[in-house]
Structure 1
Amino acid sequence: MAERILMNEFKQLSKPGEIPWLNVQLGKGDNLFLWDVAIIVLNPTSVYNGGYFKAELKFPSNYPYSPPEFRFLRPLWHPNIYPDGKLCISILHPPGEDEMSGELASERWSPAQRVESVLISILSLLDDAEVSSAANVDAGVMLRKDPEEYKKRVRENVETSKKDIPEDFVMPTSAEIKPPPKDETSDDFWYDSGAESFGGSDDASLEGSDAEMIYDDEDGNVDTEDDDVDDAVSADEDAKRISVTPNRKVLGLNVEDSSRTATPRPT
């Protein structure tokens, strides 16, 4: 099941020009469980503007029940990014509430999430740092006490990141993103991207040979091969799914509509 879900997500996210602020490829050996990604900051007012930040996504074998791991491949100066490139962000924490941190289940990973919502949260985090719970204490202190020096340090990271831009890749400068049309025929939770306003996949369901297989059981009842997923996600949890819509200025995009919002919470 994980392979099928990941293949569908990869196909949608890697369409040329589909998501201007993202470049996605499969990892070494075309490993479907390891993605090479680059997050591109388009916001002209952002200190991270112009950055081509390479990272890797590692998916567990039981995806989407467990979250992927994300790590920037070059050092990036930010209060919520560890020196090894990993992030402290709620959406990548395992499902369920955490009494120690005070995180709600709705702020953390759930099987209803998609790769796109994770990447949007990370892009939003760059310009919306949470210094009170910093993973990089020095960066947090610098942002509070010496913001100009902080900006200087970040600009150095931005210039270094440009060395990773592929020779045949044209860096985007802006984008106009329209929310994808609603799909009235499919309710598969992993195809319903919460990021409706940021240029994700236009199709929320599979068609043709990739469509969900439907069959009759011994009693003649219609069943599907994905009933185990539907049973695992309760109606209550499904209603709490996160639809991450960060500040429009963070993305530097023209967004026509945003009907559901939630703020990604670093921890």
Structure 2
Amino acid sequence: MALRQAGGESSGIALARLSEERKAWRKDHPFGFVAKPAANADGTMNLMIWDCKIPGRRGTIWEGGLYTLRMYFKEDYPSSPPKCKFEPPLFHPNVYPSGTVCLSLLDEEKDWRASVTIKQILLGIQELLDAPNIRDPAQAEAYTCFMQNRREYDEKVRQQATRFKNPNL
């Protein structure tokens, strides 16, 4: 797939870093994960948007699912973090109804550092799935269910894992 740069819209620094991230990912990535630049309508590769898949961790209520996430990088990446969005949105206390992930690692005001890699982001999101941050809820329904009826929450997550079944298992 050829790389097409959108008429100077993307910063050279961001594209260079994302190109390096792609090379590093292709050499070494966690088992079951997928991360690759999205395809433009003309078949070229868009390094500023990545299509990712995160497997549910073994031994958790998320096991068996393969969750689709899209990463949107800004022109000033890696100075600013990517926006990470589950498509379709997940039932989870730290996922906004829009699908956007609420994680301190992805927040410039909190834990974002320019040295954070795509691999670290995806592993951090996988960890967040099973260990929600109840101090920073983003989805009222999932948060309330998690806090007040853990059995129902666990069942909804298991149903979600079945709905997004990992074809590689």
Please give the range of the TM-score, normalised by the shorter of the 2 chains.
0.7 to 0.9
What is aligned with 2:20? 8
Residue 115 of structure 1: CA displacement? Answer: 1.4
Supply the RMSD in Å over aligned alpha carbons: 1.8
What is aligned with 1:147? 150
- In structure 1, stretches of 5+ residues that fail to align are 97-106, 172-267
Corresponding pairs, count: 153
What is aligned with 2:37? 26
Confirm or deny: 8 A CA contact 2:89 2:100 kept in the other structure: no
SS of 1:14's partner is helix
What is aligned with 2:84? 70
Per-residue deviation, residues 134-193 of structure 1 (Å, max 9, x unmatched): 111221111122111111111121112127x5xxxx34xxxxxxxxxxxxxxxxxxxxxx
Confirm or deny: 8 A CA contact 2:29 2:119 kept in the other structure: no
Identity among equivalent pairs (%): 28
What is aligned with 1:60? 74
Residue 24 of structure 1: CA displacement? Answer: 1.6
Structure with the larger strand share: 2
Confirm or deny: 8 A CA contact 1:34 1:56 kept in the other structure: yes
Q: Structure 2 matches for 1:1-267, cutoff 5 A?
A: 1-15=13-27, 18-29=29-40, 30-44=45-59, 46-94=60-108, 96=109, 107-162=110-165, 165=167, 170-171=168-169
Q: Which amino acid aligns with 1:134?
A: P
TM-score norm. by structure 1 comes to 0.54
Q: Which amino acid aligns with 1:113?
A: V
Q: Which amino acid aligns with 1:25?
A: K
Confirm or deny: 8 A CA contact 2:55 2:67 kept in the other structure: yes
Per-residue deviation, residues 202-261 of structure 1 (Å, max 9, x unmatched): xxxxxxxxxxxxxxxxxxxxxxxxxxxxxxxxxxxxxxxxxxxxxxxxxxxxxxxxxxxx
CA distance in 2, matches of 1:146, 1:75: 21
CA distance in 2, matches of 1:18, 1:80: 24
Confirm or deny: 8 A CA contact 1:21 1:42 kept in the other structure: no
CA distance in 2, matches of 1:80, 1:18: 24
Residue 18 of structure 1: CA displacement? Answer: 3.5
- In structure 2, stretches of 5+ residues that fail to align are 1-12
